[in-house]
């Protein structure tokens, strides 16, 4: 069974659209969808039909769970996803969605646990690696996040718009470790040149100018 498939990809894209996440991540998901659709069509028709039925259910349930989360129903959203996960344990997209829900409710450490598992099952997915990198950054695990952001930048193909969120993530980590990091300052300025209205980057730059240090969420054993 594929761990990251066509409609499962679409469900994650839908969630990012609903949550207002960057278009760069959506574009990557769409690219993955096209690649994986071609791979699946090379399999037998009967297997393809079975996979598509499973994917349709996963896609639908993931979007339904996210809509519950947006309405403030964390318990209901998690229950729906956990039930889905029992039926399809190999579909790591569900793990990613559990992380997304926990992150939405500010439970960064719990979200990190899910993002780690999702990325471990999808080491070639830029979307999964990006969510893990951001979760590591947001919980202050800069040493772990930095190589992930570097790898994402390397895989971005030199597209400035596509790599902008990766540039910001790396800049944030480097400047939190050393506010005088030349690489970090260059990346931050590059990010703002591409997106002058980048709220988090603007706030971070202001904090640095005022001599303030970013305060990521406290670590816990759960997120290790």
In contact, 111 and 75? CB cutoff 8 Å: no
In a domain, 221, yes or no: no
170 pLDDT above the threshold of 70? yes
Average pLDDT over residues 210-215: 72
> Which residue has 């670590």 as its token pair?
219
Give the residue-averaged pLDDT of 42-60: 67
Shared-domain flag, residues 158 and 203: yes
Are residues 3 and 95 located together in one domain of the fold? yes
For residues 49 and 75, membership in a common domain is answered with yes
> Is residue 224 domain-resident?
no
54 and 118 co-located in one domain: yes
| 121 shares its domain with 192 | no
Element (H, E) at 40: helix 23-41
Query: Is residue 5 situated within a structural domain?
Result: yes
- As a whole number of angstroms, the distance between CA 97 and CA 141 comes to 21
Alpha-carbon distance 134 to 132, whole Å? 5
Whether residue 114 sits in one domain with residue 66:
yes
pLDDT tops 90 at residue 113: yes
Question: Is 99 in contact with 112 (CB distance < 8 Å)?
Answer: yes
Task: Decide if 115 is inside a domain.
Answer: yes
Number of domains making up the chain: 2
Q: Can you give the pLDDT at residue 6?
A: 37
Least confident of 28-32, 46-50, 144-148: 28-32
| In a shared domain, residues 30 and 124 | yes
Q: Quote the pLDDT of residue 39.
A: 38
- Among the listed residues 170, 163, 178, the one whose alpha carbon sits nearest the alpha carbon of residue 208: 178
Q: Domain ends where: 139, 172, 204? A: 139
- For residues 98 and 79, the answer to whether their CB atoms sit within 8 Å is no
Q: CA of 165: how far to CAs of 35, 126, 201, in Å? A: 23, 12, 10
The gap between the terminal CA atoms of the chain, to the nearest Å, is 28
Of 12-21, 84-93, 178-187, where does the model show the most confidence? 178-187
What is the reported pLDDT for 158? 77
**Upper half-sphere CA count for residue 94 (Cβ side, 13 Å):** 24
Q: Does the residue 222 lie in any domain?
A: no
The answer to whether 125 and 13 have CB atoms below 8 angstroms apart is: no
Distance CA 79, CA 66 (A): 12
What percent of the chain is predicted at pLDDT more than 70? 72
Q: What is the mean pLDDT of residues 124-153?
A: 95
Whether 100 shows a pLDDT value over 60: the answer reads yes
Whether the CB-CB separation of 198 and 85 falls below 8 Å is answered with no
- The yes-or-no verdict on residue 212 having pLDDT over 70 is yes
Average pLDDT of the residues of the chain: 79
Rounded Cα distance between 211 and 204, Å, is 11
Q: Which carries the bigger pLDDT value, residue 49 or residue 154?
A: 154
Quote the domain boundaries for residue 67.
1-139
3-state secondary structure 66-91: HHHHHCCCHHHHHHHHHHHHHHCCCC
User: What is the average pLDDT across 170-199?
Assistant: 95
Taking the whole predicted model, whether its pTM rises above 0.95 is answered as: no
The more confident residue out of 171 and 21 is 171
């Amino acid at each position: 069974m594929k761990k990251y498939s066509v409609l499962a990809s679409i469900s994650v894209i839908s969630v990012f659209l609903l949550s207002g996440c960057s278009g760069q991540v959506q574009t990557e998901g769409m690219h993955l969808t096209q690649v994986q659709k071609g791979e699946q069509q090379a399999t037998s028709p009967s297997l393809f039909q079975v996979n598509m039925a499973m994917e349709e259910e996963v896609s639908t349930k993931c979007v339904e769970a996210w809509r519950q989360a947006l309405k403030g129903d964390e318990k209901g959203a998690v229950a729906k996803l956990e039930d889905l996960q029992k039926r399809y344990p190999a579909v790591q997209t569900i793990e990613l969605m559990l992380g997304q829900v926990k992150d939405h409710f500010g439970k960064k450490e719990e979200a990190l646990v899910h993002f780690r598992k999702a990325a471990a099952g999808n080491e070639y997915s830029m979307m999964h690696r990006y969510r893990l990198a951001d979760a590591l950054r947001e919980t202050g695990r800069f040493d772990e996040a930095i190589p992930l952001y570097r790898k994402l930048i390397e895989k971005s193909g030199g597209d400035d718009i596509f790599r902008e969120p990766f540039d910001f993530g790396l800049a944030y980590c480097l400047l939190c470790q050393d506010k005088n990091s030349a690489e970090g300052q260059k990346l931050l300025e590059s990010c703002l040149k591409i997106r002058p209205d980048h709220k988090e980057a603007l706030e971070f730059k202001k904090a640095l100018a005022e001599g303030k240090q970013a305060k990521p969420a406290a670590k816990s054993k759960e997120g290790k």
